[in-house]
Structure 1
Amino acid sequence: MRTATVDGHVVGRFSPAFDPSHLTGDLKQDRQWIRDHLAGFLIDAPQDGHGRPVLVPAVPAWPAHVARRAANEAGTDPVARSYAVRVVAEAGYKPSVKPMATLLLLAAAMEQSGVTLRDLVALLRQPAPVFSIQILADGFERALPQLIENTGIVPYGPYNGAAVDFAFNDDLWRWVDSETRRVFLQVPAGETNRPSRAALRGQLLRALADGTPVLAVSETHNGVPDQVDLTCDIRLTGAGIDRLLIADLLEAIYGSEAVMRHDSSIARIDAEALTLDDLAIAIRPGRPILSSLDALTGLAALNRDDKKDGNDGDKAASSRRLITQSPSERRGENSGDGCGSDGRTSTSSTSASNDRDKRKSKAKPTGSEVIQPEPIKDTSALTALRVETLTGYGAAKDWALGLKTDLADYLGGELAWSQMSTKLLLSGPPGTGKTTFARALCNSLQVPLVATSVSTWLQGEYLHDVLGRMADTLAEARRQAPCILFIDEIDGIGKRASASRSYSDYWNACVNKLLELLDGAVKTDGVIVVGATNRPAEIDEAIRRSGRLETHIEIPRPDIPTLAGILAHHLGNDLDVVTASDDLLGGQR
C-alpha cells in the first residue's frame, strides 16, 4: 500500500505484489486461486502484549512463481492491477451470517422506532447513556453484546461488557488484551439470570453516577427491567426474524439474482420460528442456495415441534410447583388414614391427594436420592451413626445439636423457621467426613435426607434442563419437609463471570438460579440446606451471604485424639480386644 492525496484526503492506494497475469477473469476461480497460493498472507499475524506482531510462526515465504517482476511493473495493465486487488480483498473476506443478521435486526428496530444513526452516535458521546433494546429474535440477547465487544461497529470504543450481576467496579475504562476498553453495564433480561430489583437498582445507581453506559437487551416481551425501561434515553423495539431479513442475508451471500429466482421458496419459510443460530447454521458461504433454503425450512419445522413439546413440559412443571405444602399440612395428611374429624372419609382430601400423586408421577427425574432416617431404639448405643456419636467435627457438631433443639421447638409451634440457622456450608479436605456428617444429621434429627450434587444437576443436556433439575430438586425437598437438602460438590456451580468471557451467560444463569433457590425468593420453610465442598474459595461470594449459606464451618483433618474417637466409633466393643496387650492374649514378648 502507498498513500496518495485525493481531493485533499490522504487515502491508501493498493497494488498487487504478484503477477496479475495468473488471474483468468473468472471471479470465483480467481478467488480460489488466491486462497490456494496466498492464504498465509490473508491472515493477520499474532501480536504480543504490546500490540507488536509476533513472527512465530515465521511469515510465509513468497511463492517465486507468482511474484511480479519489477521490470514489467510499468507495463502491467492498471485495470488488471485493480481487478487483482479486488480479488485479494474478496478472498480474504469471510461473511459471518450471525453478526450480519444482528445488525439487520438492529437497523430494522431503529427504523421502526424512528431513531437515526446520528441519534445513537450523539448519545454515545454523552456520559451514562441508557439503551433499552427489545427485539423478538431468539439469540439476540447474547449476539448484540458480543458484536459490540468483538467488532468496532459501535463508535467511541472498543468496549468491554460488565454483567450487572457481576462484581461491578467504578472504572470507566478497563485494560483488556493490551488495549483500553470502555466499560458498559449489561443488564440481563432473562428471568433465570436477572438480579433482584434492589440489586439492580444499586448497580444502576453506581453505573450512572460514574458515567458508564447501560445496555439492556431483551428477546422477549416485557423482558427489559422497569428501572431501565423507564429511564432509558433510547428505546428500540423490533419484530424479530422475518422473510425480508432472510432475503437480505441470502442476497449478501448469493447476490440479488439468486434471491429473485427463489423468491417463492423464501416466501414459504416460517421465518418467525427461526433463531439467529439457525440462520448461521443454514446460510453458509460456499453451499448452494437451495441447500440453505431447505435447511431453513427444516429448522423452522423442527423448532415448531420442539416448542410444542416444550409447552407441554411447562404445563407439567407448573403442576409440580402447585403441590408445595407446609410441614403442618403434610403432617396433618400423613397422621391419619384419610378420615376427617368426624370419622368420615374426606372426598376432597382424597381427590387432592390423587391429583398430587398424578402430578408427582409426571415429575422429571432430578437425580437426587431420598434417604430416610434410621430409627434409633437405643440412644446410648455408641456405634449408631448420629451427630452425638461423631468425633472431630467441632463447630459443625455444635451447630447440629443446636439445630436439633430448634427443630423440636419449630415442630412444637414455639419457634419460627426464620429464627433458626438452617443453611450451612461445610468445607474440608477430601475424606474428612462431610457426607458422613449429612447422614448422621439425618439420623439425629429423624428427618429425610435429600442428597444431590452439582455434577448431577449438570448432567442436563441444555441450560433449561440444568436449571429445571435445580428447581425440581428443591421441590422434591419441599415435598419431604421437614428434611435436609445435601448438595455435594457445590463449588462446581462456579462463580459469576464477566459478560465478555465465553459461556458466561450459562454459568451466570446457574449461579443466579442457586441464589434464587437459597435466598427465600422461593419458600424454603422446613428445608435444611447443607452444601459440601473441598474448595470453598471457588464458590461465588453471593452464595455465602446472609440468608444463603451464611454459616461456614471447616472440618480439619483429624488429629490423634480424633482418630482414636473414630476408631472407637467403628470398632465398638472390639476396641478392647484390639488394644489388649499380647500378654493378656497369651502372646510372648
Structure 2
Amino acid sequence: MMDRLSSFLLRRLAHVERRAVRRLAVRNGLLTMSTAIVNGYVVGRYAPAFDPSHLTGDLKQDRQWMRDHLTAFLIEGPQDGHGRPVLVPAVPVWPAHLVRRSANETDTNLAAIAYAVRVVAETGYAPSVKSMATLLLLAAAMEQSGVTLRDLVAVLRQPAPVFSVAVLADGFERALPQLIEDTEVAPFGPYNGVAADFAFTDDLWRWVDSETRRIFLQVPADETNRPSRAGLRGQLLRALADGTPVLAVSETHNGVPEQVDLTCDVSLTGDGIDRLLVADLLEAIYGSEAVMRHDSSIARIDAEALTLDDLAIAIRSGRPILSSIEALVGLAALNREDKRDQKDEDKTGSSRRLVTQSPSERREQTSRNAGNTDDRASSTSTSSSKSKGRSKSKPTGAEVIQPEPIDDVSRPAAPPVLRVETLTGYGAAKDWALGLKVDLADYLGGELPWSQMSTKLLLSGPPGTGKTTFARALCNTLQVPLVVTSVSTWLQGEYLHDVLDRMANTFAEARRHAPCILFIDEVDGIGQRASASRPYADYWNACVNKLLELLDGAIKTDGVIVVGATNRPGEIDEAIRRSGRLETHIEIPRPDIPTLAGILAHHLGADLDAITAPDGEVGAQP
C-alpha cells in the first residue's frame, strides 16, 4: 500500500483535474454554475445543462453515453497567442436531439443533479500517468529529505522562496515544471515557468495568456543551457527582488547550480524510479487488489532502467494490468540493451579513429592521452583561435547590395534610380527615411551621435505592399550598402549553435560594412518566447534572446541601420519591439486609387503620355 503523502498528492491531482473539467464544461455550456455562501465561504454550485433523465445510474454506462453525445463539450478549443478562441462559434453546437435544460429550472432532485455533474467530471477526466509518476517521485524525495508537506507549503507561502529538487529519473527535469504549469496541484497558483536564460520584460511578471499567473524562475541544470555565473546571479537578484519563486530541477545529485544550492530554502533529493514507485503507480490506476494479485510479475520489472516516458507509454487507463507489466519489462530490457550498444559504439568509434589515423597522428593522440598538460593547453589554445577564425568566416546567407549612383551621367538613357523620394504611398515610412537621411549626414559630419538617431524600424504590411522595395530605395537614398537577410536564412543552420552563429555573423558582417542598412525579412519567424517546460522552448527562447542581444546588447551597432519586415507584427515578441530595439513600427497599407496612379506613373515614365493620349494622336506625325 502506498504511503499517506503519496496517496494525498494523487488525490489532490485528481481533484484539481476534475475541477478543471467542470470549469471547461461551464465555459462550453454543458454545465451551469451559480454561487452560494456556505459557512461564510463563497462556493460554486454546478448543474447540468442537459436533461439528467438520460442517465441510468450506472457510472460506466453513463460515461459511455456522455462520450457518444456530448464529447465536444469536454474538449478545449484552439486558442491564439492571447488566449482567445480561434473558432467561430467558440463553443460546440448543442445536439438537436437533446433537450437543453433551462437555467431557471428548479432543482427538485438534488441527488440526480449531483450525479449528473459527477458523470461530466468523470467523463472528461483523463489521468496523466506521467504527472502521477512525477508526483510520486516528488513525494519520495520529500520523504528521503525529511521535508513535510506542511513545511513545503509554509515556504511556498513566503515571498521569493527558493527550491532545489534533484531526482535521478530520466525526464524529471522537464516533467516537474510542466506539472506545475499545466495543473493547479501546487498551491497559490496558477503558475507560469520562465527560463533563467530569458530576457525579462515587466509584463511577463503580471499577465500571461490572458490569465493572471504567478511566475516562477526555472534554473536549468544542464550546463549547456545554463547562463553564465554572472548572468545567473543577475537573474536570481531580479527574481528575488520581485518576490518570484525560484525552482532548480536536476536529474543528477550535483546538477543544481551552486548559487541556488547555497541559498535554497528547501532542498529535495530522490533516488529515482524503483519497483515501489512502479507498484504505487499501478495501484493508483488499477487498485490495490490487482497489484497484490500480480506482485510476482511486478517484481520482474527492472524499474531502474525505466524513464518517465516509458511509464506513460506502458501504463494506460483501461488497459489490462498484465499488458502494462509486460510492456514495462520489455521497455526496461530495451533501455539496458541500448545503453550497452551505445557503450560498444563509443569504444568502436574510438578504436576506428586510431586505426584510420596516420602513425604520426596516432603518436600525437597517444601523447595527448598520456596527460601532457602543457600540450593540451597549447592545443586547446590553438584550436580555440582556429575556431574563432572559422566562426568569422562562416557563411551567413546574407546578400550585400551596393547603392546605385544617383548622378550617373554615363548612361543618360537609363531608367531613374529607385529612391525613397520617388516612392508613392509609403506615408510615415517615407518621412522616417527622409529624416534619417538628414541625421546620417550630420552623423558622418560628427555633429550628431548615433544614439540620438532613429535607426531601427519595424516595417509591416500585407504581402506585395513593397517592404523590400522600400529597403532598396532607402539604400539608394542614403548611398550606403544594403545587407539583406531573413529569419528563414538564419534557421537553415543544422543545430541551435549554427543558427545563433548565423545571426551573430550577419550582424558582424553589417558592422564591417558600416554605415549600412541591415534588412531582416520575415522577422516574425523568430517567434515568441515560451514557457520553459513547453516543447522546444529552449530553442526558440535562445533565438529570441540572441536577437535581443544583437539589437541592444553589449556589442554596439553604431553605423548599422536595422529594418525588419513582417506580414504579421502581432507574432513578434513584445521585447523585440521595445525601446532600443525595433521600437519604431510603421505599417504600409494597401495602395488606394491615387497611390496606384502614382506607382504607375513612376514605372511607366515617358510611356505614360503615349498611353493616355487620344487614339487619333498615337503614332501621328507632327
Scaled by the length of structure 2, the TM-score of the pair is 0.56
Tell me the amino acid that sits aligned with residue 451 of structure 1.
T
Q: How does 1:424-573 map to 2 (within 5 A)?
A: 424-442=457-475, 445-453=479-487, 470-478=499-507, 480-481=509-510, 482=513, 484-491=517-524, 511-512=544-545, 514-520=547-553, 528-558=561-591, 562-573=595-606
User: Superposed, which structure 2 residues align to 1:88-107 within 5 Å?
Assistant: 96-107=128-139
Alignment correspondent of 1:34: none
CA contact (8 A) 2:403 2:482 kept: no
Superposed CA offset, 1:431-475 (max 9, x none):
321122234345665535333246x77899xxx96x557524413
Shift in Å, 1:489: 4.1
1:266 paired with 2:302, answer yes
Q: Residue type matched to 1:376 in 2?
A: E
- 8 A contact 2:300–2:329 mirrored in 1: no
Partner Cα distance (2:387, 2:397) in 1: 23
Contact 1:493 1:511 in 2 (8 A): yes
Measure the CA separation in 1 of the matches of 2:400 and 2:259: 47
Partners of 1:414 and 1:225 in 2: how far apart?
Answer: 49
1:48 to 32, 37, 56: 32
**In structure 1, what is the equivalent of residue 328 of structure 2?**
292
Tell me the distance in 1 between the aligned counterparts of 2:505 and 2:340.
Answer: 31
In structure 1, C-alpha distance between the alignment counterparts of 2:238 and 2:387, rounded to whole Å: 47
Letter in 1 for 2:484: V
1:279 aligned onto 2:311? yes
CA distance in 1, matches of 2:524, 2:153: 43
Deviation string 1:266-296 (CA, Å, 9 cap, x unpaired) is 17x645xx4x334322444523423233234
Mapping for residues 324-363 of structure 1, pairs under 5 Å: none
Distance 2:154 2:501 in 1: 48
Contact 2:491/2:499 (8 A) holds in 1? no
Query: Residue in 2 aligned with 1:186?
Result: 216
Query: Which stretch of the first structure deviates more once superposed, 298-307 or 138-147?
Result: 298-307
- Contact 1:137–1:219, Cα closer than 8 Å, also in 2: no
2:245 corresponds to:
214
Unaligned runs of 5+ in 1: 1-42, 68-89, 313-348
| Equivalences, count | 455
Kept in 2: contact 1:448–1:480 (CA 8 A)? no
- Alpha-carbon shift at residue 549 of structure 1 (Å): 0.9
1:370 alignment partner, one of 394, 398, 402 = 398
Cα distance between partner residues in 2 of 1:557 and 1:175:
31
Aligned residues of 2:167 and 2:250 also touching (Cα < 8 A): yes
Matched to 1:480, the amino acid is E
What secondary structure sits across from 1:99 in the alignment? helix
Secondary structure of the structure 1 residue equivalent to 2:219: coil
Within a 5 Å distance, the mapping from 1:69-218 to structure 2 comes to 96-124=128-156, 126=158, 129-135=161-167, 137=169, 139-148=171-180, 153-154=185-186, 157=187, 159-163=189-193, 165=200, 167-168=203-204, 184-190=214-220, 201-206=237-242, 208=243, 214-218=245-249
Unaligned stretches of 5+ in structure 2?
1-20, 35-43, 62-121, 195-199, 350-381, 409-413
CA distance in 2, matches of 1:124, 1:433: 54
TM-aligned CA deviation for residue 131 of structure 1: 3.1
Contact 2:165 2:249 in 1 (8 A): yes
CA distance in 1, matches of 2:339, 2:472: 45
Q: Secondary structure in 1 aligned to 2:302?
A: helix
Amino acid at match of 1:147: L
Counterpart-to-counterpart distance in 2, 1:225 and 1:583: 86
Quote the sequence identity (%).
58
- Once residues 303 and 399 of structure 1 are traced to their aligned partners in structure 2, the CA distance between those partners, rounded to angstroms, is 61
The 5 Å alignment of 1:391-402 reads 391-400=424-433
On the 8 A contact 1:110/1:116 being kept in 2, the answer is yes
Secondary structure of 2:579's counterpart equals coil
User: Residue 56 of structure 2: which of 62, 67, 78 is its match?
Assistant: 62
Helix, strand or coil at the partner of 1:391? coil
Amino acid at match of 1:373: I
* CA RMSD after TM alignment: 5.5
Counterpart Cα distance in 1 of 2:545 and 2:262: 24
1:568 alignment partner AA: A
Change (3 A) 1:197 1:375: same
Label 1:540 to 1:280 Cα distance change in 2 as closer, same or farther (>3 A). Answer: same
Kindly indicate whether the alpha-carbon contact (under 8 Å) linking 1:484 and 1:530 is maintained by their aligned counterparts in 2: yes
Contact 1:495–1:540 (CA<8 Å) still a contact in 2?
yes
> How many angstroms does 1:160 deviate by?
0.6
**Paired position in structure 2 for 1:71:** none
| 1:576 pairs with 2:570 | no
